[in-house]
Amino acid sequence: MNLILGGGDVGKTTILDAVGLLLSASNAASISEADYWRRDNTDEFSIEGVVSLPVSVDPNSFSVQLMPWDWNGADAVLPDDPQNGDVPEAKHPVYRLRVRGTADLELVWEIIQPDESIIAFSAAFRKKIGLIRLSADDRNDRDLRLVFGSALDRLLADPAIKARIAKKVAEQDFSGAVGDAGVKVLGELDLRLKAASLPSGVKLGLTSSQGLSIGALIGLLANRDGVALPLTSWGAGTKRMAALEIAAATQAGSSVTVIDEVERGLEPYRLRQLIGILKSTFGQSSPHTAPSPFNVRLTPTSGISTQLVPSARLITRRSPLSSSAIRRLSWPNSRS
């Protein structure tokens, strides 16, 4: 678990945004000139990460042969020459992932091979890695809806479920909902279409549109006094905790979790509960082992969070241009 501390506007949220963009499960992410250094999009920007993959993500299932780097405790290096055989083997396999913002304001996801060749980092592969983003601007609704790459989508793990739902909805008859006046108007419209030799026999039904997914309309409902209410309508803290529980239920070892302003919307007891879930479910990383994205990165806004996770690594942001200093937290009552 990593905590990112610093003053205002020094780049804490930017770090989380970078992780979120690198592992975004959708190709629909967009950027503007404001995302480039001093709004100069003539120079590309790139975000690179070195990660290890869990057992659930099989690199051999990739359409192109994916070769690992070796982790030496500080960086990704070329694997040592094998004693037997012609193919070097990595003792601690890691992979270099990168997303670039081109001069044309387009995003390109890539995997860098040990021979410096580049292969595409597909959205399907990024979805397998998984990303849970609990932001500070009440956008936690996404993981509570059945949109592509959300926590709920990965929990159900059924690629055909949205198609079946759409088919079920399309079979519904909406003529009763429009009323007698609406049926009469549609009938008159049908006569006009038929007279103009246009498609006739019209009725209301479900239609799809580019950029609009039925999954965005499907989400979790919870019972409150006998009434089923969408979880997206509940409080900010409840939505945050629910999204985290979905992530934990999906698979403990296969989610990247980034939380901006972890205390936002949470009472002290809920904050302790959230930190406990993070520590027990997602585990803690060690600087001596291969880096894994399957941990948690937080930006706390007070000292409460740092006292709750004394064994976490602290990343101090001094200014947007300075380098990050990483050290282990040490509290008087801490075991570490």
Q: Same domain for 53 and 100?
A: yes
Q: What is the model's pLDDT at position 29?
A: 84
pLDDT digit string, tens, across residues 166-194: 888 878 777 777 888 888 898 999 899 89
Name the stretches of the chain with pLDDT < 70. Answer: 81-88, 135-140, 208-212, 251-255, 281-336
Rounded-to-integer distance, Cα 316 and Cα 326, Å: 7
CB 336 within 8 A of CB 327: no
Reference 140, options 233, 229, 63; nearest CA is: 233
Q: What is the model's pLDDT at position 248?
A: 73
Q: What is the model's pLDDT at position 320?
A: 54
Rounded-to-integer distance, Cα 15 and Cα 135, Å: 12
Q: Same domain for 5 and 141?
A: yes
**How many CB atoms sit inside 10 A of residue 295's CB?**
20
Q: Same domain for 232 and 299?
A: yes
- 99 in any annotated domain: yes
Q: Same domain for 91 and 121?
A: yes
CB 114 within 8 A of CB 79: yes
Q: What is the model's pLDDT at position 328?
A: 37
Tokens of 152: 């709920």
pLDDT digit string, tens, across residues 295-323: 566 666 555 566 656 555 656 555 554 44
CB 276 within 8 A of CB 238: no
Rounded-to-integer distance, Cα 175 and Cα 238, Å: 38
Burial of 228 (0-12, 13-18, 19+ CB in 10 A): exposed
Q: What is the model's pLDDT at position 319?
A: 54
Helix axes 236-250, 268-281, angle to 10 degrees: 10
User: Phi and psi at residue 70, in whole multiples of 5°?
Assistant: -115, 140
Domain span at 282: 1-23+130-145+219-330
End of a domain among 192, 217, 242?
217
Q: What is the model's pLDDT at position 292?
A: 46
CB 295 within 8 A of CB 2: yes
Q: Same domain for 244 and 325?
A: yes
- Could you tell me the end-to-end alpha-carbon distance of the chain, in angstroms, rounded to an integer? 14
**CATH code, 265:** 3.40.50.300
Query: For the residues of 284-314, what is the DSSP string, one character each?
Result: ---TTS---SSSEEEE-SSHHHHHH-TTSEE
Tokens of 263: 């205390």
